[in-house]
Amino acid sequence: MSKKPVQLGTDGLDPTRWRTLFVVAISQLMIVLDSSIMNIAIPSAKIDLGISDANQQWVITAYTLAFGSLLLLGGRIGDYMGRKKIFLVGLVGFAAASALGGIASTQGLLFASRALQGVFGALLAPAALAIISVTFTVPAERAKAFGVIGAISGGGAAIGLILGGTLTEFFSWRWCLGVNTPIAIVAALLAIKYVRESKAEGNNTYDIPGVFTATAGLFSLTYGFNEAATKGWSSSTTISFLIAAVVLLVIFVVIEMKVANPLMPLRVVTERNRGGSYLGSLVVGAGLFSMFLFLGLYLQVILGYTPLKSGFAFLPFTAGIIVFAGIASQLLPKVGPRALMVPGLIAAGAGMLMISRITPETSYTTHVLPALLIMSSGMALVFIPLTSTSLHGVSSHDTGVASAMLNTSQQIGGSLGTALLNTVAATATTTFAAANTQLGEKLMPFAMTHGFTVAFKFSAVLLFVGAVVLFFFINVGKDSLVETEGMAVH
């Protein structure tokens, strides 16, 4: 790989920066798609590989566990070894892991390939965001770049459902994995040419005790939430892993306070705007991830939609995110992040409350579609500013690990939300069924839908809590997009 310095244009800017954005956008879309594309493929994969109901969760969990627990380490490796280099390693590894999953002949091989995707995704995601942060130094341009990444982050999951449904229905579930391979290879070839190298200067020694406690703690936390979603909060496995997570993460924080060169410098999270961004991201992830889960179940189980039709039913959400992401990126340099994020979350919460009015007898057009449009427009106003505030004022030494912290908080929030709201929905369904036996054959559709609506109300509360968190924590103004510390101002 060439070490020659980047030839800047006469304006002092990297002339290939928009091509860099294109490459990073491809990788970001691939990561986001992978979080949802396999959901629709699971039934076909179960039949093909003989996967039991008890083991089917591992198609998703193997990926999320590896991804969520290794993000902080992945961010630090990118900082120290070079973000371009680790970005390329992530892309090539992701391509190979996806190909392995696409040709898997046993369930064990499929689960292993999904875990490998998570490992390389944990290298790829923080490096991608860090590359954007160090490449775009002009506030207006940085807002547009974050707008593109935010639109992909917000709308990619719905695209994944459509793509997963299409590939499964017309080709094979295997293509839901195999499709990543050519995309990743093309992105890697483009990255070699257009992405410039950057790395942290100064002390680049690894904090081994921090690596161990953070990785084990995040693994225990994610696995504990997953067990809570499938076995309940009172399960001994759930309790054991959550206790282990708390102990390990407390030890991690103590270590970070004492070591000379920590894995996660506390300065990254104690700055109020960044800390508020990570906390807000966790709460929003908890409220939003469950919407896709329960609304997908409502569309397929209650309204009888096919998987492909369900995927298309989420398309307005993607469209709303894309349209309003453009608006948000234009407004962000003018009004600052809080003026967008707080109203955005209030709108998203209102949309979530609207969707809580569904019954087995209401229609998609009258009850689901308007709510999706309101939610997506609100969330677009959140995703873009949240990315900028999570990296605001971070030193160039810590860009990768700060990016990883945003991804980690979203991942943990999603796992927590799924576990918490699964319990809420199941309890509400059982209570409704016991109190309304007179409904006869209509009982289960109404009871299940009631469970979904109660979960949606809890999701709305989480989004409103997110608005309060961001209102009080975020105090940076229009300068939220100004260059990170130690970076040349052009």
Question: What is the signed CA dihedral for 294, 219, 75, 142, rounded to 10 degrees?
Answer: 20
pLDDT of residue 489: 29
Provide the pLDDT for residue 482.
53
Residue 314, SS3 per DSSP? coil
Q: How high is the pLDDT of residue 50?
A: 82
Query: Which residues does 134 contact at the CB level (< 8 Å), separation at least 6?
Result: 83, 198, 396, 399, 484, 487
As to burial, measured by CB atoms within 10 angstroms (0-12 exposed, 13-18 middle, 19+ buried), residue 364 is: middle
Name the pTM for this structure: 0.81
Question: What is the CATH class of 17-206+263-481?
Answer: mainly alpha
Q: Supply the angle between the helices 17-49 and 180-194 in degrees, to the nearest 10.
A: 160
Contact present, 445 and 298 (Cβ < 8 Å): no
C-beta of residue 258 within 8 angstroms of C-beta of residue 452: no
Q: How far apart are CA 481 and CA 132, in angstroms?
A: 12
CA nearest to 20, candidates 103, 102, 66, 84: 84
The pLDDT, as a whole number, for residue 37 is 78
First CA to last CA across the chain, in angstroms?
A: 27
Ranges of each domain in the chain: 17-206+263-481, 207-262
Residue 243: the pLDDT is 94
Per-residue pLDDT of the chain (490 residues; tens, 9 = 90+): 444 444 555 455 667 788 888 988 888 888 877 777 777 777 778 888 887 766 777 787 788 778 888 887 888 888 888 888 999 999 999 999 999 988 988 888 998 999 999 899 989 888 888 888 788 877 778 778 877 877 777 677 777 878 887 887 788 888 888 888 998 999 999 988 888 887 767 667 778 888 889 888 888 888 888 788 778 788 898 899 999 999 999 999 999 888 887 888 888 888 888 899 999 999 988 888 778 778 888 888 888 888 778 878 888 888 888 888 888 888 888 888 899 999 999 999 999 999 999 999 898 999 999 999 999 999 889 888 888 888 887 777 777 778 888 888 888 888 788 778 888 888 888 888 888 888 788 888 899 999 999 999 999 999 999 999 999 998 887 665 554 443 332 2
Cα angle, residue 143 at apex, residues 324 and 477 outer, rounded to 5°: 100
Give me the pLDDT at residue 244, please.
94
The pLDDT assigned to 15 comes to 75
Query: 437: how many CB neighbours lie within 10 A of its CB?
Result: 8
Give dist(CA 319, CA 372) in Å, integer.
10
